[in-house]
Structure 1
Amino acid sequence: MIRQLSEPLSSTQILSLIASSRGVVAGRFHAACMSMLSGTPFAAMSSNTSKMKGLLTDAGIARFLTDDPSATFRLIDDWKEADEFAVRDYVQKARRDAKAMFDDIASLA
């Protein structure tokens, strides 16, 4: 583990690990985002900001947010096909919305 801490993984390596996992316990916002992008089931811990709650609520999967660390492991087992569809649809919408926003910004120039 000491060697792993002194040699950080690249974003590609991290995403590959997340994508090949059965599930992720996400304690940080970007871990949840990468889980969503890779289609990996996850449960998230609440944080000191509203980003995690807003993300999961907007995606329609707020039931995967908890304050109980032991519950996160059980929640991953509750991941259903409908949750996969909700996340996939949310990611597609986010990509469309981001493109539209950048197109709007570019049109201002």
Structure 2
Amino acid sequence: MRALGAAYVGYALEQRGMFELMFRHDLLDSTGQEPTGGPRLRESTQPLFGLLVSLVSRCGAAEPEVTTAALWANLHGVAQLWGWGSLPLMVADAGIPVERLVDAALDAHLGPASGSPS
């Protein structure tokens, strides 16, 4: 989960335009459009969320769907606020890197992992 969280936020910061588009379901609504033969982004997000729910469940979450949604929202917020410069501004004096915020989000939703940085 730590590798997934880090990859999610890392991708968001490296590929800002694509990251923004990937979650704009208001823009990716394919209702009424003819199939093109390939998968559509909108139709692929629910199975991916289901995969995350199964991974979170394996971490022992009592309500895996709720925990997954909250964790996703938390990581997405870290990515957006870091990319906009808001979080770096707030934590610059403390020298807190974005990776530590990813760890904190995972710890808050899944509990501290043994050997995780504090």
Task: Using structure 1 for the length normalisation, give the TM-score.
Answer: 0.30
Comparing both structures, which one devotes a greater share of its residues to strand? 1
Identify the structure with bigger relative contact order (alpha carbons < 8 Å, sequence gap 6+).
2
